[in-house]
Amino acid sequence: MKNEKFRFELLAADRATKARRGKLHTPHGEVDTPVFMPVGTAGSVKTLDNRDLDELGAQLVLANTYHLYLRPGHEVVRALGGLHGFVNRPRPFLTDSGGFQIFSLSELRKITEEGVRFASHIDGSRHLLTPELSVEIQEALGADIIMAFDECIPYPATHEYVRQSTERTLRWTRRCLDAKKRDDQALFGIVQGGMFEDLRVWSARETTALDLPGYALGGLSVGESKEQMMNMAAFALPLLPDDRPRYVMGVGHPEDVLDLIAQGADLFDCVMPTRNARTGTLYTHDGRINIRNAQYKADGRPLDAACSCYTCRTHSRAYLRHLFLAGEPSVLRLLTLHNLTLYFELLRGAREAIANGNYFDYHAAFRGRLGAPRL
């Protein structure tokens, strides 16, 4: 399917790994890949404002269809100019299909061929989300990239269950394509298949036959082991066409993202940097620390001496720990800025390394620091 307003440009390929350096052209600007998308569930990356996102260098932000459909309602967002107008951020957005949140947040859900019936986690109200409604909502939200409606298959699941679900997701993807009216949004398909290689092969073949502008791997990081996840991603990524962006949904820690880049993935989103920050868990260039730990009580050093973020330039571990224990709301933003900066710096470094053909060394160096003794 051609989309004149959306184009993926492959700029460089690494020598020793499958890592790729690319550029997404969208109606609201360019996105350098590999890219990490911060999660702006309800139209706001938790604790941050738009200036913070610009300072981070965020080019693409994810927003959640399920949340915005339930509150404030997609018609309110449409009336205020879609996500770009509502949030007042004239840069690229991606919306998911709502499927994942129905399975992880809502109650009383029931899957039929038509769609998914569920009860809102906010007020218990009953809803039926179908592929057609998902597209209607996502067209109202107006993101640059929208996702096909799928079932995020839980783990573990039987081959029979996964087969039936994966086949239904393909039928839903076709219905999304049929329902789509706007020509300025790129619809990405989602390859399912759970932990079964034959079903991943089938799903990839059938979904890519639709000639969509991008593809995602869904159903990863849903309870399987890290090794299973990485093995399945490494197996499935080469099933996707080289000339389209590849999005691994919902993954992961910094090392997971770097691992998947080596396997040829281009887009990532994950709540971990933001959610972990709000529980006091900080990523550093050589591991993780929890700021609540008593050892930081009078520690005048920054969270991570190798980090350039505002928080590390300005504040000590002692001050941040104090704010955290005192329940000061300001600290949640300071810690979020740090964790996201670490992701953005890692991805920036990854893009440079790929362009220079030395991603293998870059990846190995980060992995090596993680293995080093903790401070």
Provide the binding-site residues for a copy of itself, judged by CB under 8 A.
42-51, 67, 71-72, 76, 79-80, 86-88, 278, 297-298, 300, 310, 314-316, 318-319, 321-323, 325-326, 328-334
The 3-state DSSP class for residue 249 equals coil
Q: Which is nearer to a copy of itself, 169 or 311 (CB)?
A: 311
**How many whole angstroms separate alpha carbon 274 and alpha carbon 64?**
15
Q: Which is nearer to a copy of itself, 161 or 310 (CB)?
A: 310
Closest approach of a copy of itself to the CB of residue 344, in Å: 18
- Which residues touch 335 (CB under 8 Å, ≥6 apart)? 277, 278, 280, 282, 291, 311, 320, 324
- Which residues touch 338 (CB under 8 Å, ≥6 apart)? 277, 282, 283, 303, 304, 307, 309, 311, 312
Q: Which two tokens stand for residue 52?
A: 């913070």
Q: Which is nearer to a copy of itself, 270 or 332 (CB)?
A: 332
Closest approach of a copy of itself to the CB of residue 318, in Å: 6
Closest approach of a copy of itself to the CB of residue 63, in Å: 12
290, exposed or middle or buried, with CB in 10 Å at 0-12, 13-18, 19+?
middle
Q: Which is nearer to a copy of itself, 137 or 199 (CB)?
A: 137
Closest approach of a copy of itself to the CB of residue 334, in Å: 6
Q: Catalytic: 14?
A: no
DSSP E strand stretches across the chain: 7-13, 20-26, 29-33, 35-37, 61-63, 93-95, 107-111, 116-119, 126-129, 145-147, 186-191, 215-217, 246-248, 267-269, 281-284, 287-290
R_g (Cα) of the chain, nearest Å: 20
Closest approach of a copy of itself to the CB of residue 87, in Å: 7
Q: Which is nearer to a copy of itself, 46 or 168 (CB)?
A: 46
The 3-state DSSP class for residue 361 equals helix
Closest of 158, 170, 250, 156 to residue 204, by C-alpha = 170
Q: Catalytic: 96?
A: yes
Q: Which of 52, 150, 269, 304 is catalytic?
A: 269
Closest approach of a copy of itself to the CB of residue 71, in Å: 6
Q: Which of 52, 96, 144, 304 is catalytic?
A: 96
Q: Which is nearer to a copy of itself, 76 or 305 (CB)?
A: 76
Which amino acids are annotated catalytic? Answer: 96, 269
